[in-house]
Structure 1
Amino acid sequence: MKFKQIALACFIPTLLLNSTAFAAQTQKPNILLIVADDLGFSDTEPFGGEIHTPNLKKLATQGAVLSNFYAGPTCSVTRSMLLTGNDNHQAGIGSMSEFLQPEQKGKLGYEGRLNDKVITIAEVLKQNGYATFMAGKWHLGGTPESIPSARGFSNSFALLQGGAAHFDSSPMFPGNYKARYLNNGKEEALPEKFYSSDFYTDKMISYLKDHREKNQPFFAYLAYTAPHWPLQAPDQYLKKYEHAYTEGYDKIREARFKKLLKLGVIPANAKINDPLLGVFKNWNQLNAQQKAEQVKTMQVYAAMIDNLDHNIGRVLNYLQSTKDLDNTVVLFMSDNGAESASPESLGTTEDKEGIAAWVNENFDNRLENMGKKGSYVTLGPQWAQVASTPLPYFKSFLADGGIHVPAIIRYPKMVKANSVQKNLLHVSDFVPTVLELTETTRPTTNGNQTLIPMQGQSFISVFKGKTLPERAIGWEFNNKKSLYKGDWSIRFEEPPYGTGQWELYNRKDDPTLKQSIATQYPKKLNELVKDWEAYAQRVGVVSAPVRYRYGQMNCFYGKCIGPEEIKNLSNP
């Protein structure tokens, strides 16, 4: 008996010590990163939209709208910065892998996949005791060393490419573009019953459930492919919107703009910037068939976003049920602006009709089948511009509509509920912020490689009432150039989207960048141009001629516009 008492006395302090250590570990915050694909600035309720998004509205009510949050102009560009804290040119996605040019291939930063000069937040957190999960779109490489399971994710189900159909694995492009899905690094076919947003959510919740007993903090990356084209949605969601959007572009745009002002998401002196005004047919110039097609297109898009919101709610509700939500940093964002492409504007400059013929031959786009399995619907430039309200342009552009994205953060221990955070934040700031919150140190080397220092900086201080120090943030994508510094920004884009010269804007006086003031402030322009040149040299920008339509050309019912290199392409 005496021996048992001594043994128990020795055991209890050890047990208490282990429990204390365990409790300290489990108090580390979880991280839930939710990324929508090609969602426009004003598409959701917290950002002025009419689409039914109650879960995002609730998230914003419980957290903060990030009204001044910037990403990259396209999917993989943003994701490379989001997961590493580095500029995309440093991380290996100097340009999208699908469109690397001969001048860029083989150059550092243009590997077309995450390179070994950067490390992902999943790799860092996994090395520091976190469980790491990923479900959805990867788009950061398909080589063995660049897939999710090789870049820090202990559990992952990933679409490797930039997109695919939402009901099956039909590809977005003809030729060698087969959709590939990996389950923990091994190729896997999709189940017979599949819808992308539903399936990725199921996977994520299963990961969270399976690892709950392990009592580890987690990093969960939920990378939806909605509402990326081809636009498709389940029937019950299509039905919800079957009478919507008959009023056309302008009334939807104006209603969103008024709501944005009322919510305080945009400054009171903001004005709608619609650079397509007078370029393409307006609503009243469309014939009855064209109007019907445009109405149905927007209905499908809205249905996808509604379903996306439902699935986000499923994850948040699960975390609420396990009492993990308040200890979880939730960041929701879009990877870039809304997508303007249509089949005519997809492909290389050698494709005289883009991929329109392939779409017509292989998909059923009759009005009654639009948005269903077997259809191939794209949003097009006019609705994409509405989705960007009040910002100019959309995905692939360095104008604000391409890079100024909706974002919401929830973390009650840090973020004041029902607030609007107006500091300029950049997608590369996410990793430094997570590192500070989790008290984790990013290594300076990974294996035998010395890592490039991060570009981003933690934004925790802004939730303590501070303002981030002024900094110059640069972008480059396919010869488009931009830089933000304080209240000022510069942009360079070729006609017809720009002047072919550097433009200068004051973001405080002109929040939607309607009027260049380059001639009035030549010294300020010169200062920012030098800042951009220093940025380009630091990250290793390699310029190359434009040789494809995607992101360069926009087409709408018989008219196409694009830069000098492709302006002579025949109109569809």
Structure 2
Amino acid sequence: MKPIPRLLASLCVPIIAATALPPAAQAATPANTPARKPNILLIVADDLGYTDLGSYGAEIATPNLDRLANTGAKMTSFYASPFCSPTRAMLMSGVDNHLAGFGDMAELMLPEQMGKPGYEGYLNERVVPMPQVLKDAGYRTAMAGKWHLGIKEELSPATRGFDQSYAMVMGGASHWGDQSGILAVDPNKPPKAIYRENGKAIDIPRDGFYSSVAFTDKLLEYLKSGESSGKPFFGYLAFTAPHWPLHAPDADIAKYEGRYKAGYDKLRKERLERMIKQGIVPADTPVYEGHAYWPKWESLSQAEKESEARRMTVYAAMVDNMDQQIGRVLEYLKATGELDNTFVFFMSDNGADGNSVYDVGRTREWIHKDMDNSNANIGKPGSFIEYGPGWAQVGSTPFKLYKSFMYEGGISVPAIAWGPGIKGGSIKREFAHVTDVAPTIYELAGAKHPGTEYKGKEVLPLRGKSMLPYLQGKAQQVRSTNDAVGWELGGRKALRKGDWKIVYANKPWGNDGWELYNLAQDRTESRDLAAQNPQKLGELLVAWKDYVAETGTLEIDGLAYRPGYSNAGKYYDDLKIEAAMKPRAAK
């Protein structure tokens, strides 16, 4: 009897415990038949927290991703950047963000950074993007979703190796259409989301459109259109969910009504208990109790509790709906017989986002004026709202802080690998980094990165390392204990070498100096060892200087204190403004 691929079997049986799914099984390839190149399906969630999937401790229904996690490799020490564009630049290139064009977020770039090498604010020409490498290796390439790697037409996915593309060009757009983006290209006009298909600007309808559904529809359309080509595919599905604004279909919201009335403090402890039961973290793991900036749940007024609970209800619905769309793609692959020959990699682009939407771009000018953020309208067209630091800290359980910070809560993300040769049902605990994804995919696909020259031009070599031997159970780790990996964005910094990590954060979030942690013993970063172990601190600071020199990172005095976004601390002030305003019709 021919073996049944493990996810195929699980999709055919509607009710089955994930732990009871059969192990990996692949049919043997006849000796006289050339091995088929595997399809590649790369899926990225936007601002999804470490514990926001059921297989990572959440109460949110994510059965499709849970099946992938429980029958593939669930990674518990996978790292991204603390912001979206830098992560996506590293994902698409296998090169550090300071080399690939996103030394900082394009929207936050300072005059001292603009124009410097590695600070172009788009995926620069010094890298060869993943879709181009795979296209050169005989793959058909398609993407649908958030791009955020260049605004101009000449920087669109169509120019960086994608045969077919449907791209939301910038971040933070409405999920219900083009109603509002973060920034206005023309400062004299209201913000409007930019979409391009195959490089050309297109209009997005405001009726019958929801981002997660639309992106999935397009990717499926592209995959179907190439079925007769005989080529393997590289599909990149880049959701903008669950990034704010919080929007979700009514049917999905209804599933979670009343679920979050007990608040974020209680939920954080519940998630940690499930994580311990699932073997994700040790039984003695403490939970980070939160920063003094945000209040305990019990100190909130009844009106504030109702508003907060509604926000988390919609957020959960967004994650649920995203998982449903992933299920649609897996069902299609099953129906076409391609599932057992497809490598799936899923990840989030950074930690959960606890920052205020009002501190980005020009949002303060128009959200209060144009949007209806009354409780009843949260999640619907015409609303534009985030879910705040209390719930973000739930998503980061048990780690410290969230998106924009170099603590574990900002850079540790869920990641799942599933497909041919991947050891099923395994928890992978060793360190891996977003720059390791491209080399992994190239090895699996039999594709070769050009190294330092491409089509007569000098290009940057890969900095990441293939995870494939590790994922297949043939290696004990991805990187050696001597490998040093650095991070820097907006003046906040970190470097990891082996089990040790140094972190710099400005006050009031850190101590305005380098902190030292042993992550093997203290991944919640609750015991700063810098004063106790100056020798180890010095060793990592030497590695930090090497990283800065190798990547061209600009260290600007006071940069971490720049106003706005994570330093503004306006979330709770804006809640009061919202509560005092009357509902108004969205424009």
- Cα deviation for residue 81 of structure 1 reads 0.3
Residue 507 of structure 2: aligned partner: 495
Partner residue of 2:70 out of 50, 61, 70: 61
Kept after mapping to 1: 8 A contact 2:100/2:123? yes
Give 1:228's aligned residue. Answer: 243
Q: Which residue of 1 aligns with 2:447?
A: 440
Closer/same/farther in 2, CA of residues 133 and 21 from structure 1, 3 Å limit: farther
Residue in structure 1 matching 2:335, options 318, 321, 330: 321
Structure 1 residue 390 displacement after superposition: 0.6
1:211 and 2:214 matched? no
Larger radius of gyration: 1
| Aligned CA distance change for structure 1 residues 110 and 98 (closer, same or farther; 3 Å) | same
Are 2:382 and 1:368 aligned?
no
Per mean C-alpha deviation after superposition, the further-off stretch among 449-458 and 545-554 is 545-554
1:420 and 2:420 correspond: no
2:526 aligned partner: 514
- Per mean C-alpha deviation after superposition, the further-off stretch among 230-239 and 357-366 is 357-366
| Partner amino acid, structure 2, of 1:80 | A
Alignment match of 2:463 (pick from 447, 455, 460): 455
CA distance in 2 between partners of 1:456 and 1:551 (Å): 29
- Asked if residue 126 in structure 1 is aligned to residue 135 in structure 2, the reply is yes
Whole-Å separation in 2 of the counterparts to 1:381 and 1:433: 34
Matches within 5 A, 1:153-232: 153-173=162-182, 175-176=184-185, 177-191=191-205, 192-232=207-247
Matches of 2:61 and 2:500 in 1, distance apart?
A: 35
- SS of the counterpart of 2:310? helix
Q: 1:467 aligns with which of 456, 474, 477?
A: 477
- Post-superposition CA distance 1:340-373 (Å, at most 9, x none): 12244334xxxxxx84452111101111111101
CA-CA distance at 1:554 after TM superposition:
2.9
Shift of 1:24: 2.9
Distance 1:280 1:158 in 2: 36
CA distance change for structure 1 residues 424 and 322 in 2, over 3 Å: closer, same or farther? same
| AA matched with 2:155 | S
Deviation at 1:175, TM superposition (A): 4.1
Letter in 1 for 2:68: L
Deviations 1:513-543 (A, max 9, x none): 1110011110100000110111011100113
SS in 1 for 2:34: helix
Asked if structure 2 preserves the Cα contact closer than 8 Å seen for 1:64 and 1:419, the reply is yes
1:536 corresponds in structure 2 to 548
Aligned partners of 1:187, 1:355: CA distance in 2, in Å?
23
Match of 1:335 in 2: 349
Contact kept? 2:153, 2:200, Cα under 8 Å: no
1:162 shift after superposition: 1.4
Alignment-derived partner of residue 6 in structure 2: none
Residue in 2 that maps onto 1:80? 89
**Cα distance in 2 between the residues matched to 1:357 and 1:83:** 34
Q: Show the counterpart of 1:567.
A: none
Matched, 1:143 2:137: no
Offset at residue 144 of structure 1 (A):
3.6
Instruction: Please give the residue correspondences for 1:98-109 in structure 2 after superposition, counting only pairs within 5 Å.
Output: 98-109=107-118
Per the alignment, residue 260 of structure 1 pairs with 275
- Residue in 1 aligned with 2:260? 245
1:419 Cα deviation (Å)?
1.3
Q: 1:390 aligns with which of 385, 398, 403?
A: 398
Describe the shift of the 1:32–1:248 C-alpha distance in structure 2 as closer, same or farther (beyond 3 A). same
Name the amino acid aligned to 1:35.
V
Aligned partner letter, 2:384: Y
C-alpha distance in 2, partners of 1:75/1:160?
A: 13
Q: Structure 1: how far apart are the matches of 2:122 and 2:408?
A: 26
1:400 partner letter? E
Contact 1:103 / 1:542 at 8 angstroms: preserved in 2? no
Residue 59 (structure 2) aligned to one of 43, 50, 54: 50
Task: Quote the offset at 1:217 in angstroms.
Answer: 0.7
Structure 1 runs not aligned, ≥5 long: 1-19, 348-353, 561-572
Q: Determine if the alignment matches structure 1 residue 482 to structure 2 residue 482.
A: no
Residue 294, structure 1, aligned to residue 308, structure 2 = yes
Which of 22, 43, 50 is equivalent to 1:41?
50
Q: CA deviation at 1:244?
A: 1.2
* More divergent stretch after superposition (435-444 vs 398-407): 435-444
Q: Is the 8 A contact 1:269 1:510 kept in 2?
A: no
RMSD across aligned positions (CA) = 1.8
| Aligned residue number for residue 405 of structure 1 | 413
Superposition deviation, residue 65 in structure 1 = 0.6
Rate the CA distance shift 1:96–1:246 in 2: closer, same or farther, 3 A. same
Judge conservation of contact 2:101–2:124 (CA < 8 Å) in 1: yes
Paired amino acid for 1:262: K
Q: Distance in 2 between matches of 1:59 and 1:268?
A: 25
Q: Is the 8 A contact 2:44 2:238 kept in 1?
A: yes
SS state of the match for residue 486, structure 2? Answer: strand
Report the Cα distance in structure 1 between the residues aligned to 2:385 and 2:54, rounded to whole angstroms. 24
Q: How many angstroms does 1:21 deviate by?
A: 13
TM-score by length of 1: 0.90
Counterpart CA distance in 2 for 1:119 and 1:149 is 14
* Correspondence 1:152 to 2:155: no
- Work out the CA distance in 1 between the residues paired with 2:448 and 2:502: 34
Q: Identity rate of aligned residues, in percent?
A: 45
CA contact (8 A) 1:137 1:163 kept: no
Deviation (angstroms), 1:455? 1.0
Q: Is the 8 A contact 1:343 1:355 kept in 2?
A: yes
What secondary structure sits across from 1:254 in the alignment?
helix
Alignment length, in residue pairs?
532
Residues 128, 440 of structure 1: 8 Å contact kept: yes
Within the alignment, does 1:379 sit opposite 2:393 as a pair?
no
Within a 5 Å distance, the mapping from 1:339-354 to structure 2 comes to: 339-347=353-361
How many Å apart are 1:503 and its aligned residue?
0.4
Provide, for residues 376-415 of structure 1, a one-character-per-residue CA deviation record: whole Å limited to 9, x for no partner. Answer: 110111111111111111111111111000111101x322
* Candidates 438, 452, 455, aligned match of 1:431: 438
Residue 229 of structure 1: SS of its match in structure 2? Answer: coil
Aligned-partner SS, 1:558: helix
Q: Which letter maps to 2:503?
A: R
